[in-house]
Amino acid sequence: MRNLIFFIYRYHVFFIFFVLEIVAFIILFRFNNYQKASFLNYTNGVAGNFYNGVSNTHEYFNLRRVNDSLQLENARLRSQQITSYYQNNVSTSSINDTVYKQQYDYISAQVVNNSVTKRNNYITLNRGRLHGIEREMGVISENGIVGIVMNVSDHYATVLSLLNSNCKISAKLQKTGAFGSLVWDGGDPGYARLLDVNKHVPIKVGDLVITSNFSTIFPEGLPIGKISYNSLDAGDNFHTINIDLFTDFSTISTVYVIRNLFKQEQQALEQTLPTDKK
């Protein structure tokens, strides 16, 4: 206590000066309209910047929650697209089926592991059996196709990337409807090849390539890429077509897994077909 009193006594001149300065500023800003307005504008600006900083910090820490919410919303909207429905035009006096019935729905997932530099590349997702993921489901990004689910555990799934020599996807030209098989030759991860397109089909650089309807994995019409190169040598029966892929496999982080609700029904029916005997 003695030290505190001694400290105040020693610096009492400074404390008196400080108190008088505060009183002077109060009188100045309280009884002079111009100074009062200037002071209020300044303090409002400082307070606004402070609250803006607090708001930005709060929004930054909420980005993960917002991102998850957007993924779920995107998956829901994709499930409502017309391409996710099966068109059933059967309608009689005794059968009142709706014209469209849900055929595809979408499950959002995050990429937790990915490779693009190998001959056979794979992707790991943070969704598994408990989230409704099954083998041989299609995987797409916001821009195009990604691959096919290969193996599933309770909480994770591995995907056979399009950048894999064992991956083959049915695709077609949007303009002509001519179809072929989309494969990757192990080279540039930004390009793939479209095989088995007949030589009589007209091909132009820039034509859009989409998924075909000859698959139980992907809906028809999903974008894949654009033709970047085409050649047809004398004597060849099929075009040599290079595709500039829309999906950038080096940056993908969010994907959607496609579930075909009619897949098992179609496969079960096709298994009843007789096989050729030699």
For residue 211, give both structure tokens: 């998924």
Q: Are 192 and 139 in contact (CB under 8 A)?
A: no
Q: How far is CA 92 from CA 101, 102, 133, 164, 227, in A?
A: 17, 21, 37, 48, 45
Q: Domain for residue 250, yes or no?
A: no
Please tell me the predicted confidence (pLDDT) of residue 159.
94
Please tell me the predicted confidence (pLDDT) of residue 37.
64
Q: Are 129 and 257 in contact (CB under 8 A)?
A: no
Rounded to two decimals, the pTM is 0.65
Beta bridge partners of 107: 257
Q: What CATH number is given to the structural domain containing 218?
A: 2.40.10.350
Number of structural domains found in the chain: 2
* Residue 96: band (very low, low, confident or very high) from pLDDT cuts 50, 70, 90: very low
Please tell me the predicted confidence (pLDDT) of residue 192.
94
Please tell me the predicted confidence (pLDDT) of residue 274.
81
Q: Domain for residue 30, yes or no?
A: yes
Mean pLDDT of 95-103: 57
Beta bridge partners of 101: 86
CB atoms within 10 A of CB 113: 12
Q: Domain for residue 86, yes or no?
A: no
Please tell me the predicted confidence (pLDDT) of residue 243.
94
Please tell me the predicted confidence (pLDDT) of residue 244.
95
Per-residue model confidence as pLDDT tens digits over 143-192: 889 999 999 999 999 999 999 999 999 999 999 999 899 999 888 999 99
Pairwise pLDDT comparison (255 vs 34), residue with the higher score: 255
For residue 220, give both structure tokens: 């028809």
Averaged pLDDT of the chain = 80
- The values of phi and psi at residue 18, to 5°, are -65, -45
Q: Domain for residue 202, yes or no?
A: yes
Q: Domain for residue 276, yes or no?
A: no
Q: Domain for residue 91, yes or no?
A: no
Q: Alpha-carbon distance 215 to 263, whole Å? A: 9
Mean pLDDT of 196-209: 91
**Measured on CA atoms in the order 34, 38, 41, 44, is the torsion positive or negative?**
negative
Mean pLDDT of 37-56: 64
Mean pLDDT of 219-230: 91
* Residue 17: band (very low, low, confident or very high) from pLDDT cuts 50, 70, 90: confident
**Is residue 90 predicted with pLDDT exceeding 60?**
no
- Residue 262 DSSP SS3: coil
Q: Domain for residue 77, yes or no?
A: no
| Domain membership of residue 174 as a residue range | 169-245
Per-residue model confidence as pLDDT tens digits over 228-238: 998 887 778 88
Please tell me the predicted confidence (pLDDT) of residue 145.
93
Please choose, from the candidates 249, 248, 242, 214, the residue with its C-alpha nearest in 3D space to the C-alpha of residue 226: 242
Of 9, 36, 61, the residue at which a domain comes to its end is 61
